[in-house]
Amino acid sequence: MKRVSEEIYSRIDNNIYNIDGDRWWHPDFSLNLLRTLYNPFRVGYAKKLFEQLIKINTEKLSALEVGCGGGILSEEIAKMGFITTGLDPSEQSLNIAIKHANDNNLKIKYEIGTGENLPFQKDSFDVVFCCDVLEHVHDLPKVISEISRVLKNRGIFIYDTFNRTHLSKISIINILQEWKRWAIMPANLHVWEMFIKPDEIRSLLEENHLEWKEHRGIKPGISYIKMLHYLHKRAIGELTYEEFGKKFLMVESRSTQIMYMGYAVKSFSL
């Protein structure tokens, strides 16, 4: 797999993260969905992994979140006991993250930078998270190679992303971003061509000494009829993003057709 072409990359609007003001924690902005819609599933997945599968004590281990935005996931990582660092290219988002962590007495180190060029020494972290970010980056192979470089030997990489299928095109691009009756996201938030097939990420991981372990599908925890009903209510402003997210909880699915989460373990020091 190669980095995406300039033409495809020019279509994604990563500037949305540079808008002034709090677009992350405010209940009436779409980025807040990461908290209400995604956090319960992905934090639950990570906790289950650490407590039941890998059986590690997260207290005092170091974790990095690549593409942390306003800190919605980083704060949960810190609450799990990790010595936490969040990294993002958006200075505006980092300012929101720093303020929110300070207001909530959470000790998190935030740094500016991109996943393609991580400003850390090799073997720096026990765990790296990269959630809802891989489908936004210009050079995915470089990001994966950088994540592998900064992970310690036997360190864990946890990620989630969108699959590139007909179903993800209809649900994530057409329904959520384009078709006015239901669209609740900005039109260029995601570009379908930048979505990643599970086998593509698996190959990239293995090329970078990250031993792939599993993929779990993610789907809305309500019926498609109810989902469209709530989407429409949000699209016409009858529900805030926060209210919408709480009705629409994501759950594990056997199908990875739309969205999936997984992890890999670094198999030796590079």
The residues of the shown chain that bind ligand SAM, judged by CB under 6 A, are 14, 17, 34, 66-69, 72-73, 88-90, 93, 114-116, 131-133, 136-138
Cβ-count burial 254-269 (b if 16+ within 10 Å, e if not): eebbbbbbbbbbbeee
The minimum distance between CB 77 and ligand SAM, in angstroms, equals 10
The minimum distance between CB 235 and ligand SAM, in angstroms, equals 20
- Residue number, 68 or 239, with CB nearest to ligand SAM: 68
Half-sphere exposure of 226 (CA within 13 A, CB side): 9
The minimum distance between CB 160 and ligand SAM, in angstroms, equals 8
For the chain, what percentages of helix, strand and coil (3-state, to nearest 5) are there? 40, 20, 35
- Residue number, 137 or 210, with CB nearest to ligand SAM: 137
The minimum distance between CB 223 and ligand SAM, in angstroms, equals 26
- Residue number, 2 or 55, with CB nearest to ligand SAM: 2
Which residue, among 112, 117, 73, has the nearest Cα to 94 in the 3D structure?
112
**Whether 230 contacts 239, CB under 8 Å:** yes
- Residue number, 193 or 211, with CB nearest to ligand SAM: 193
The 3-state DSSP class for residue 56 equals coil
Half-sphere exposure of 44 (CA within 13 A, CB side): 13
The minimum distance between CB 85 and ligand SAM, in angstroms, equals 13
- Residue number, 98 or 154, with CB nearest to ligand SAM: 98
